[in-house]
Amino acid sequence: MLWYKSLREIRNVTLVGMAGMAAACVLIVWNEKTMRWHADPQLSYVAYIWKSVYNSIGRDLFVILAIILGAGGLLQEKAQGTSGFTLSLPVSRGRIVLTRALIGYLGVLAIAAVPVLVVPLASHYVGELYPVGQSAGFFFLWAGCGAVFYGLTFLLAHRIESEYVSVLVAIPSLMLYGAMLNLRWLERLRMLDLFSLMNGEDMPFFNEGSHLLVGPLPWMALGIMLAIGAAFAIAAARRMQPLDF
């Protein structure tokens, strides 16, 4: 019951998010000739896909959707007057929160997986080639970094009762984080830059000339990102334990 309830809560957002990501990828591929023609200098097809999907529209859409998926939980149910049913289930509050966190993150993974299928298939339709292995590599980068974006919003949603205020707090927080990355002492720690880690820019595993992933992915860094996301979820679960509903 708990798993099914959590799945229903994120189903619509996940399906709409997947559809939106698929539509964005298809439109990017279909308009590739026009966009590449007007680029200066002209781009190869692989470079165009990287710049449009993995370094611009697709990446930004993924971050926004990961944040939206994190905006839900017991506090929002309390505000809506529906928390009584959830708390009546024969499970602990911690399990309720962590189950919701896991199901929501599976939604993040589902959205991150869309370009893996859509970009190569749409590319084949227009007579171009984009390696499936490249899309798969970016999936893992998005999955790791997306855990932080999702986890941060999930934690905020369990500290701020008003619905979707957590989203409004998470977005400027990430903007502040992006601004802090310009600090000189942080510029040396490239693996702390989630946005660059997601697209490979200025990273040793990415070739700037060919716009391809060429080296082993930063598995340790991605593991740390997953651990941070999990820590956010655990902190949210602990936050719910002493509250009076």
* 70 Cβ contact partners less than 8 Å away, ≥ 6 residues apart: 104, 149, 150, 151, 152, 153, 154, 156, 157, 166, 167, 170
Q: Which residues contact 66 (CB under 8 A, 6 or more apart)?
A: 108, 111, 146, 149, 150, 153
| pLDDT higher than threshold 70 for residue 87 | no
pLDDT digits (tens, 9 = 90+) for 49-63: 999 999 999 999 999
Q: What's the rounded Cα separation, in Å, for the pair 111 and 116?
A: 10
Distance CA 100, CA 20 (A): 23
Q: Where does the pLDDT of residue 193 fall: very low under 50, low under 70, confident under 90, or very high at 90 and above?
A: confident
**In the predicted structure, residue 244 carries a pLDDT above the cut 70:** no
Q: Which two tokens stand for residue 82?
A: 């529906």
Question: With bands split at pLDDT 50, 70 and 90, how would you rate the model's confidence at 74?
Answer: low
pLDDT band at 8 (very low <50, low <70, confident <90, very high): confident
Of the ranges 36-40, 83-87, 104-108, 197-201, which one carries the lowest mean pLDDT score? Answer: 83-87
More confident residue, 205 or 171: 205
What's residue 242's pLDDT? 66
Angle between helices 219-240 and 132-157 (to 10 degrees): 20
pLDDT tens, residue by residue, 156-190: 988 887 767 888 888 888 888 777 767 666 666 66
Query: What pLDDT does residue 42 have?
Result: 78
Task: Report how far Cα 30 is from the mean position of its chain's Cα atoms.
Answer: 24
Most confident of 140-144, 153-157, 183-187: 140-144
